[in-house]
Amino acid sequence: MRWNIAYRTLFYDRGKLIAGLVGVIFSVVLVNIQGGLFFGLIRKASTLITRSNADIWVGHRGMHNVDFAHPIPERYRYVAAGVDGVAEVQPLRIYFTDISLPKGGYENVALVGLSRSTTPGGLTYDVDQPSMDWAGRNDAILVDQCDAGKLGSPSIGELREINGRRVRIVGQSNGILSFLITPYVFTGYDEAADICQGDPNDTSYLLVRLQDGADAARVCQEIESLLPDASAMTAEQYSAVSVNFWMTRTGLGISFGAATILGLLVGLVMVGQTLYAMVLDRINEYATLRAIGLTERELLAILLCQSSLVAMLGISIGLVLTVLLKQSFSTPTAAIEIPLFLYIGGAALIFGICLFASGLPYLRVRRIDPHTVLQG
């Protein structure tokens, strides 16, 4: 009967029910979209890594961010290639420079030099081009179509200048975006050093691909023991390190976290206030129930039932709305990436908050004086 009283009285007052649902839905959408934007943004900190086909990244000792590479001797590639379990090693260079814009200005870019050597295992880096022929041209570059706005709407065949050198746009990558404001521009490995006048004996990273069944951790250890000035990490490890760099050094996690908590608090207040208003509207009914013999615990059970119903309904609607919003508004530039744990964790958290929110009306119910009912 407590359940019957709880849900019938809840659905009887549809206006209040809708207000409560709006609070929960708001919280669910806010938490998931906010979290999804955060994960989408922070994922850019490791896009260069996650879009590679490499199993292990080798860079300078203490490497902490994929974009800020310190050069290492390219000859290290031969040492790494000799480690048991390594299938192939290809170098990758990153330089910060600028590119000319059609209207005469310049835009800072990260020029990424990719090896054009092909192996039976394929490329260690794939930029969505059918072949690496483009990298065989001395002046060829690729730009990302998502950076078109920053780069002045580049078109295929268009000529630009990078670091004073004429280059030709021969293709476009898709969705390889930097966490920094500087777009990635891809060119051949040797051409990158040539354009930026880098030391041809140095490289930024060595991208290692493992043989089937090789132990990545062991290979990393062995590379580091052979190359004391280098660090070797699996792609997952270096991806996490790069993400962590921005999280801890920019306070990004705290900012997003604070905004998310604020959203949760707003939802909590809305749900709590709605339940409280419902109780105030029905205070005589609660007093009547108290008078005819319901205990405080039973009244609390009714409130918890109502909170649970509001929570479950609101969470369900909120999740559907979140998925729709994600599909409608997520772009490579402003990616909304909501991992499963965020859906589940957010729902569980909001459910708990709704139960907690029923504490406010419960405090009011506890103070009900049934005698007042008899007074009419």
Q: How far is the CB of 293 from other proteins (least distance, A)?
A: 3
The closest of 173, 166, 169 to 145, measured between CA atoms, is 173
Cβ proximity of 185 and 110 under 8 Å:
yes
If the CB atoms of residues 169 and 310 are measured against other proteins, the closer one turns out to be: 310
Q: How far is the CB of 7 from other proteins (least distance, A)?
A: 9
If the CB atoms of residues 15 and 352 are measured against other proteins, the closer one turns out to be: 15
Distance CA 202, CA 37 (A): 37
Distance CA 311, CA 24 (A): 6
Q: How far is the CB of 288 from other proteins (least distance, A)?
A: 4
Q: Give residues in contact with other proteins (CB under 8 A).
A: 1, 4-5, 8-13, 282, 284-285, 287-295, 369-371, 373-376
If the CB atoms of residues 263 and 361 are measured against other proteins, the closer one turns out to be: 361
Q: How far is the CB of 281 from other proteins (least distance, A)?
A: 10
Cβ proximity of 28 and 314 under 8 Å:
yes
Phi and psi at residue 71, to the nearest 5°: -65, 150
Q: How far is the CB of 8 from other proteins (least distance, A)?
A: 4
Q: How far is the CB of 366 from other proteins (least distance, A)?
A: 11
If the CB atoms of residues 11 and 329 are measured against other proteins, the closer one turns out to be: 11
Per the DSSP assignment, residues forming a β-bridge with 207 are 57, 90
Report the relative pairing of strands 202-203 and 72-73 from DSSP bridges.
antiparallel
Per the DSSP assignment, residues forming a β-bridge with 113 are 93, 187
If the CB atoms of residues 119 and 295 are measured against other proteins, the closer one turns out to be: 295
If the CB atoms of residues 264 and 294 are measured against other proteins, the closer one turns out to be: 294
| CA quadruple 55, 60, 61, 67: dihedral sign | negative
Helix (H) or strand (E) holding 60: strand 56-60
Q: 279 to each of 84, 95, 286, 348, how far by Cα in Å?
A: 71, 64, 8, 25
